Amino acid sequence: MTAFLQQVVNGLASGSIYALIAVGYSMVYGVLELINFAHGDIFMLATFLTLTLILLGVPWPLAILLGILAGAILAMIVERFAYRPLRNADRIAPTITAVGAALIIQNVALATWGPQTQPFPLPFGSGLIQLGGVYITVLQLIIFGMAGICALALYLLVQLTPWGRAMRAIRDDPTTAELVGVPVNRIVPAVYAVGGGLGVIGGILFAAYYNAVYIGMGFTGTMNAFVAAVLGGIGSLKGAFIGGLLLGVMQALAIGYIASGFENTVAFVIMIVILVLKPRGLFALPTASRV
Amino acid sequence: MRVRTEASGAATAVSSRAPATPATIRSYARIVLPVLLLLFLLAAPGLIGSYHLHVLTLILIYVPCALGQNLITGNSGQLSMGHAAFFGLGAYAVAILSVRYGWPAFPALLAAAGAAGLVGLLIGLPAIRISGDYLFIVTIGVNLVFLDIVTQWVPVTGGTAGIPGLPMPSFGFVRVRSNVDYFYLALAIAALCFLVTLAITRSRFGKMIEASRDDPVAAAACGISLTAVRVSVFVIGAAMAGLAGGVLGYFIGFVGPSDFNVQQSLLIFEMAILGGLGSIWGSVAGAAILVGLPEILRFLQPYRLGLLGLIMIVLMIYRPQGLLGSVRITNLIRK
């Protein structure tokens, strides 16, 4: 039982990271019905940037803030050049340009930082708390806390601010929203920026949790975020968050009780089962009546 | 030899009595250019150096992959992005059967195509229920699962170390002994897949494939089984990639997981969309450009990924039907 709970705690920690990444991803999907393939690579590049700043001696809170800002700006650049020219095209075209943008970002990161995995040192989080036989690291507590704070902040932003109302209007009906004066070309980049920034928080926590920054982390993040979003019902922010937690726990249990090295397999078997049996996800959007 | 054929081709075009309208020139070109290409390929080992022959062999190995991908995505309209899994499956099948069990080349290559086709069937079936960009991600997932299996199942696949030491293939009395022989093997397999694809697209079945892409409801109303058509296309496209993977395994002499990652799937996918969806010559052109260009322009090697990405973005914005294609990829999904 203790071993089981331990795996659940570990799974919730990695799941919280997926949740943060998936929420940013799902938000973009909700607004534009676009699989933002570059999401993971944007936070990968920003995490590398944060690491470089920390190694250069920039105080780490400032470095993290600058990294989040860089991710937000990069997301807006990608939106401007790879997605906006295709906003009125069918959605497969921007999916492919998103893959293109992801490849370009990977190439830039590869040329700048090389293919080696680098450790991500944080000056905190090494402590250990024991709770009835289950160990929780301080870093895991920080991850839970960050995930909760970000989810709450995003919920308030989307539900209570004029910006959030404009975003929801575009999500429900982009044409009418534009007709009644919602500044679509200002709100959409902002959605990307918020999604990108959230992704960077997830990316930095990912790097800290696994003590690794590497080129492939973006792709891993994108794929897991996609599975999490599909699991929860793509486009739904609550769904993406819960989907991320579920995915983390299921992967951790699979590692603990079946075998390690099959994380991708677990994720994709879950996704195929969901897509075939319950294609709208576990928590589908009630308003999802697009034609 | 090549020069003479070119001259005679031009002479026929000029001396013909019909006025040389663009249409007649095009209809001549449609016959003359493929013949020229075939003659050039048959004579290639005597015409070009060993390095370029190596590149040409690689291109020919990728042609069946591109043809299979294009059949699935272009003709049938299914956005599959995991072709490297089928390609790799063929390579691993040949490696395991020839290295561990000593199978000769012909049955090993048949088994490679068969194994890939069988997995194509297993994936094609759920693919019926998963549409558009979801299938895109699911098939990437298939590629990741394939990689998980070949890296973890060490006793059979050799894990990350792969399987070295594939023998040179022999077909009864015909033995492959040199790079020139490998070239002709790749040419034969590419030509075979080319002709099979041509026959399929020209046949009644080919029309059924396109009908089920363009208007599934009308096609179903005409008595076409969408499931049967789509799944068979998946099986055929996968089997071609499996066959090509088998040839790749023999050619390199080593099979490992790093050759069949998601980047490889992206490359094969891009061959089809760059060359032109639904165009057989487009598949050939896509393979030639995406395999040949980086080999010839070596100095671009560090920017290969980024260039692939840039091509994707520029294509989608300015020419979504690809170089030679007629189908716009953007029409494959209804809003």
Three-state secondary-structure class, residue B254: strand
Residue A225 lies in a domain: yes
Contact yes or no for A92 and B133 at CB 8 A = yes
Instruction: Give the 3-state secondary structure percentages of chain A, helix then strand then coil, rounded to 5.
Output: 75, 5, 20
d(CA A261, CA B241): 26
d(CA B256, CA B237): 22
- Chain B environment of A85 (Cβ under 8 Å): 317
Beta carbons within 8 Å of A101's beta carbon, 6+ residues apart: A37, A38, A41, A78, A81, A82, B309, B313
In this prediction, residues B270-279 reach a mean pLDDT of 86
Q: Which pLDDT band, with edges at 50, 70 and 90, does B334 fall under?
A: very low
- Chain A environment of B126 (Cβ under 8 Å): 272, 275-276
Supply the range of the domain harboring residue A101: 14-126+190-277
Find out whether B250 and B32 touch, Cβ atoms under 8 Å.
no
Hey, is the C-beta of B172 within 8 angstroms of any chain A C-beta?
Answer: no
Write out pLDDT tens, residues B294-307.
Answer: 777 777 778 888 88
Give the range with max mean pLDDT: A90-94, A232-236, B178-182, B250-254.
B250-254
* Boundaries of every domain in chain B: 56-267
For chain A, the domain total comes to 1
Three-state secondary-structure class, residue B308: helix
ipTM over 0.95? The verdict is: no
Mean pLDDT score of chain B, rounded to an integer?
A: 83
In this prediction, residues A284-288 reach a mean pLDDT of 52
Q: Which pLDDT band, with edges at 50, 70 and 90, does B331 fall under?
A: low
d(CA A105, CA A110): 8
Residue A179 lies in a domain: no
Which pLDDT score is estimated for B8?
45
Q: How many helices (H) and strands (E) does chain B have?
A: 15, 4
Nearest to B138 among A96, A100, A275 (CB): A275
The Cα of B259 is separated from the nearest Cα of chain A by a number of Å equal to: 16
Which pLDDT score is estimated for B332?
60
Neighbouring C-beta atoms of residue A77, cutoff 10 Å: 16
Nearest to B317 among A86, A267, A276 (CB): A86
Which pLDDT score is estimated for A291?
34
Residue A21 lies in a domain: yes
The Cα of A8 is separated from the nearest Cα of chain B by a number of Å equal to: 23
Residue A253 lies in a domain: yes
Q: Which residue of B has its CA nearest to A107?
A: B306
- The pair phi, psi for residue B42, each rounded to 5°, is -65, -35
Contact yes or no for B137 and A101 at CB 8 A = no
Residue A144 lies in a domain: no
Residue A62 lies in a domain: yes
Contact yes or no for B130 and A276 at CB 8 A = yes
Q: Which of A268, A269, A271, A277 to mutate to test the interface with B (most CBs of B within 10 A)?
A: A268
Residue A145 lies in a domain: no
